[in-house]
Amino acid sequence: MTAEEIREYCLEKNAVTESLPFDEDTLVFKVEGKMFLLLDLVSQPPSFNVKCEPEKALILREKYTSVGPGYHMNKVHWNTVSCDGSVPKKLILSWIDDSYWLIVKGLPKKLREKHIKPQ
């Protein structure tokens, strides 16, 4: 996957914004102000950080060499994924979806009901 494909996929989701709060090389995607994906704009192949349930994060790291602990993130809850072609695109997209929905589920009920619609 390319960085642009990842960006476009994230922006298709409800209530998502993008910004460069840390530096010009790290594009951050948020839902209701909460980060769900950080995309490294300069790495080749592209890489990104996504939130993950702790048990699943460990399983993915053991199963895929392109998945590691979240770079500069809480290593219990975040993974870094390198899009080196070793993982099918469909699976990568599912990890992005998981990260998005983990954040949505953690939002206050009023925000979930007001802004987030099932996709």
Considering its fold, how many domains does the chain have in total? 1
Tokens of 99: 């990260």
Q: According to the model, what pLDDT value does residue 25 have?
A: 96
Q: According to the model, what pLDDT value does residue 112 have?
A: 82
| Confidence (pTM) | 0.92
Q: According to the model, what pLDDT value does residue 116 have?
A: 62
Q: pLDDT band at 111, cuts 50/70/90?
A: confident
Q: pLDDT band at 21, cuts 50/70/90?
A: very high
- Give residue 43's domain range: 3-115
How confident is the model over 63-110, as pLDDT tens digits? 999 999 998 898 999 999 999 999 999 999 999 999 999 999 999 988
Q: Hey, which bits of the chain come out as E strands?
A: 16-19, 26-31, 34-40, 47-51, 67-69, 78-82
Question: Is pLDDT of 113 > 80?
Answer: no
Q: What is the CATH number of the domain that holds 104?
A: 3.90.1150.30
DSSP state of 108: -
Pairing of strands 67-69, 34-40: unpaired
Torsion angle defined by CA atoms of residues 35, 37, 92 and 102, in that order, rounded to the nearest 10 degrees: -10
Nearest to 49 by CA among 40, 58, 57: 40
